[in-house]
Structure 1
């Protein structure tokens, strides 16, 4: 049964440019413009009309945009739950400007060892993550550590948890890697590895959407009976101010927004394409977390019930439930 029939999330790409070269991502290879404050302001007003409650300012590396603090500040003041993930190379520079404006601030860290993390990210950023944690805590911020899980770094979870997140009283978010568009994320985790990850997710101060684990056990999304609700739950806006459908990773069609996001999203052309969510040939086997997370939240299914405890746990620990209720 569908519980929410309007979109709940916007993945707002401020730029595709990035100052890292992660081995599991191809976005840094793309040329890109930067979004404008004028377009952001208009689109946020339309997102509000559409019922969106969470805006994820993403990239590329979102802190490459010199106005990023203005974007998140505007969205935050309008009552949106704001999220931002960074590799931390620029966070110490922007920390004061971002202070109090990002509800869910994620610092990417995939290993407790500098050489391993920096190799995977293609740039020396490990020390910047540790410095960013220090700076954020001094400012009273509560960042999370976003750990992208691969087979080769699974054993390092214990060290990151013991040496970094627990001493700093941070939430450790477990983000199982996924393949897309020919980008190799190191292969699927085995049943034993999924069991280990699932058990780790039950620890205090750790967030893991258990539905992600079940989806992988089930072989991902299946076009004959799709669980993905990417297009009806999530709006993807490109740095060129385009609405991208059915999701960023497929990017089948792009529609210029031109100041009319509300009408564009509700147009027959867009809704016809949105109706194909999870049913395109490329959707078979998909496990992309950023679209499955909102998909699980709007429709009762086994995934909904499996996702619910961890979602409640995270929002309770972060206090974001207060903004969700009172915004």
Structure 2
């Protein structure tokens, strides 16, 4: 199903989103619609731009606990769940957890799985199960494979020998599942170490019919725990110019349905002029980050708001003190944020910005 067909099918949801983002949100907190779900903090990669793999081991809530938690009003309106980590496929009960989500979330329309694709057999097994489950319920299932360079460069970015070959093997098998409705793409995190290879990666993916989502590396104490790597991975002045050129190239080749072009234009403005981010974000309005331990955050820059295994999720989400914290994040952190989670949904719901972008031409 192409982008236009998906947009038409979801038109009622998008129209409601436009109303909620531009009108209803002025009168109180919106129901949670998008859920970023780190299902585990375990990871079998050693990425240079992320220290999640160094996180202390922590207890993950059981399926039985999640079954009770998902009865909370917080989850009644959840339409999109992004399964991430760590490496989500390391969670042995991921298929069963996904079954629980599908059964307990009445509004669920979209599932996303982000994977480093290092363990081909395991990834394919999990994806096949989730695809069968989602297809039976009319749920869109998207898999985003992390790939930060071609050949040895990717191995170096992930600090895993043979990582690139494993990713290629996994991608080849995932592409076979596309005929059964799987949506597939590549995520590339750009840093000073791999920026030079971005055009080559883009061409490599295009030859295989794979869209690439280019992400500017983010640094946070509370999620990635990678602030100490910022100096090493940040772009030098010459690299900033190289990055600007690459972003403008991406925008120049955009199509009308390429919502990412808006974001790339926005990032270029942020880098070149120090402008504040204008790209909408679901976490400002109706997104949550709820992890495997039950810790609830508004986003990855949010403090812990509470734990849903101890208190009601809706009560935590709507607590006045927590909502004030979200406004503080919006004022202080959002202007410089380059995170792209649920980007297309945010732009679709706040479509007026995107329409103005199209009418205004390339910037």
TM-score relative to the length of structure 1: 0.77
Q: Deviations over 1:154-187 (max 9, x none)?
A: 3423333333x23432222222323334242422
- Aligned ranges 1:1-327 → 2 under 5 Å: 2=22, 5=25, 6=30, 7-31=32-56, 32-46=58-72, 49-76=75-102, 78=105, 79-99=108-128, 100=131, 101=134, 103-113=141-151, 115-124=152-161, 125-140=163-178, 141-163=182-204, 165-181=205-221, 182=227, 183-184=229-230, 185-187=233-235, 190-201=240-251, 202=253, 208-218=260-270, 219=274, 221=276, 230-244=283-297, 246-248=298-300, 250-258=301-309, 260-280=312-332, 285-290=336-341, 296-299=347-350, 302=353, 305-306=356-357
Distance 2:358 2:98 in 1: 27
Give the CA deviation at 1:116.
Answer: 0.9
Q: Which moved more, 1:205-214 or 1:167-176?
A: 205-214
Partner SS, residue 110 of structure 1: coil
Give the CA deviation at 1:302.
Answer: 4.2
Give the CA deviation at 1:295.
Answer: 5.4
Q: Which moved more, 1:205-214 or 1:50-59?
A: 205-214
Distance 1:20-1:276 versus aligned 2 partners, 3 A rule: same
Any gaps of 5 or more consecutive residues in structure 2?
1-20, 135-139, 222-226
Q: RMSD of aligned C-alpha atoms?
A: 3.4
Q: Deviations over 1:68-111 (max 9, x none)?
A: 12223443464331111111123422413322147110111111
Distance 1:24 1:227 in 2: 25
Distance 1:35 1:83 in 2: 20
Any gaps of 5 or more consecutive residues in structure 1?
309-327
Aligned residues: 301
Partner SS, residue 75 of structure 1: helix
TM-score relative to the length of structure 2: 0.70
Distance 1:194 1:103 in 2: 32
**2:302 and 2:329 in contact (8 A); partners too:** no
Larger Rg: 2
Distance 2:96 2:77 in 1: 22
Partner SS, residue 239 of structure 1: coil
